[in-house]
A = this chain, B = another copy of it.
Amino acid sequence: MKPLFHPALADITVEGIMHALSDPVRAAIYAELADAADALTCSTFLTVRDRDIPKSTLSQHFKTLRDAGLILSERQGVEMKSISRCKEIETRFPGLIPAIMGAHKIQLMGKKKAAARRKPAGT
């Protein structure tokens, strides 16, 4: 198998990170990876926020995250384990990733509240 490409820390760009996280599915995947204690596989994300993601699409999303320098992936047996590179990125762009993740959490909370307002009791 073609070895996976991972950019060097110095080659990671803000634009790349912004682009990768401008997609809600990728942002959700990355958020989960960044929180996770250890590596997760692609197929963990076959459904993301109640939406089914085809595996070819998933594969592309992981590639995008990898190319942006956001995650590190490694084959382990038949699966592909990925972890967030947030510690590294923190040394290059201090505070960037936490701010983005924080904003995503705020936004998610807002959406939940709005949904609760639309259907107050178990409807």
Chain A residues engaging chain B, CB cutoff 8 angstroms: 10, 13-19, 21-24, 27, 92-96, 98-100, 102-104, 106-107, 110
A96 cross-chain contacts in B, Cβ below 8 A: 99-100, 102-103
Do residues B23 and A100 form an inter-chain contact, with CB atoms below 8 A? no
**Alpha-carbon separation in the docked complex, A88 to B17 (Å):** 23
| This chain's copy number in the assembly | 2
Do residues B15 and A18 form an inter-chain contact, with CB atoms below 8 A? no
Chain B nearest CB: distance from A59 CB in Å?
21
Chain B nearest CB: distance from A25 CB in Å?
10
Q: 26 pairs across A/B with beta carbons < 8 Å?
A: A10-B110, A14-B21, A14-B27, A14-B104, A15-B21, A15-B22, A15-B24, A15-B27, A16-B22, A17-B103, A18-B18, A18-B19, A18-B21, A18-B27, A18-B100, A19-B19, A19-B22, A93-B99, A93-B103, A93-B106, A93-B107, A95-B99, A95-B102, A96-B103, A98-B99, A99-B99
A22 cross-chain contacts in B, Cβ below 8 A: 15-16, 18-19, 22
In the complex, residue of chain B having the shortest beta-carbon distance to the beta carbon of A19:
B22
Chain B nearest CB: distance from A118 CB in Å?
15
A107 cross-chain contacts in B, Cβ below 8 A: 13-14, 93
